């Protein structure tokens, strides 16, 4: 009788690796779904001059930015005018998580991004439609295969006054801080010359 009970228990038990296999399959499916989603959203082609993109950007701006920057991005006592700021500025500020601000202070701190790449580009298109300003750099400027000596010269002329010659960052006026520059993503230093 004792033997029959033992056989029932053995046949009802799972293999020791069944739980591991189940978790692994779940992780693979979740990872594949996430990779597919993030790849499609990251490579989305957006025409910054299309009326629908600008319209969507205006809606996002009105719901998330107008409180501080005003309904027409004209500025308020809480935020500067963005007329003429251009798409590059919006793409940088929103795309790095600095905007919208978590709290009022001398400068926006980097935090997790609130908007997708597509939404960021839509807002950039809206602000760019208000007045001419710096546009997004062409892809060829983002490859990182440029002339290092010329880039160093441009950095010393345009950036070193805040980030210092060694790109170590430092204190600025009115409580602001220039961050340490080495290892920054390419979008940080892109500018059309």
Domain ranges of the chain: 51-130, 146-181
Confidence (pTM): 0.61
Q: Which residue has the higher pLDDT, 105 or 129?
A: 129
Q: Would you say 137 and 191 are in contact if contact means Cβ atoms under 8 Å apart?
A: yes
Q: Which residue has the higher pLDDT, 185 or 27?
A: 27
Instruction: For residue 100, give the DSSP letter.
Output: S
Ramachandran area for residue 53 (φ above 0: left; ψ -120 to 50: alpha; else beta): alpha
- Burial profile 22-57: b = 16 or more Cβ within 10 angstroms, e = fewer: eeeeeeeeeeeeeeeeeeeeeeeebebeeeebbebb
Separation CA 23–CA 93 (nearest Å):
39
CATH, domain range 51-130: 1.10.760.10
Q: Tens digit of pLDDT for each residue in 140-179?
A: 777 878 888 888 888 888 888 888 777 777 777 777 777 7
């Amino acid at each position: 009788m004792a033997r029959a009970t033992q056989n029932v228990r053995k046949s009802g038990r799972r293999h020791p690796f069944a739980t591991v296999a189940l978790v692994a399959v779940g992780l693979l499916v979740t990872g594949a779904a996430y990779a597919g989603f993030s790849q499609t959203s990251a490579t989305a082609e957006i025409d910054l001059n299309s009326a629908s993109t600008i319209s969507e950007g205006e809606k996002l701006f009105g719901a998330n930015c107008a409180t501080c920057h005003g309904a027409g991005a004209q500025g308020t006592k809480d935020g500067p005018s963005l007329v003429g700021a251009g798409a590059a500025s919006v793409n940088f500020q929103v795309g790095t998580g600095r905007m919208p601000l978590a709290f009022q202070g001398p400068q926006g701190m980097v935090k997790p991004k609130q908007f997708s790449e597509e939404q960021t580009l839509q807002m950039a298109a809206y602000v760019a439609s208000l007045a001419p300003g710096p546009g997004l750099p062409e892809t060829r400027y983002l490859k990182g295969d440029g002339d290092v000596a010329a880039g160093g010269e441009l950095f010393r002329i345009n950036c070193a006054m805040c980030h210092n010659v060694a790109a170590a960052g430092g204190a600025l006026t009115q409580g602001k801080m220039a961050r340490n520059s080495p290892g920054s993503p390419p979008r940080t230093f892109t500018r059309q010359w």
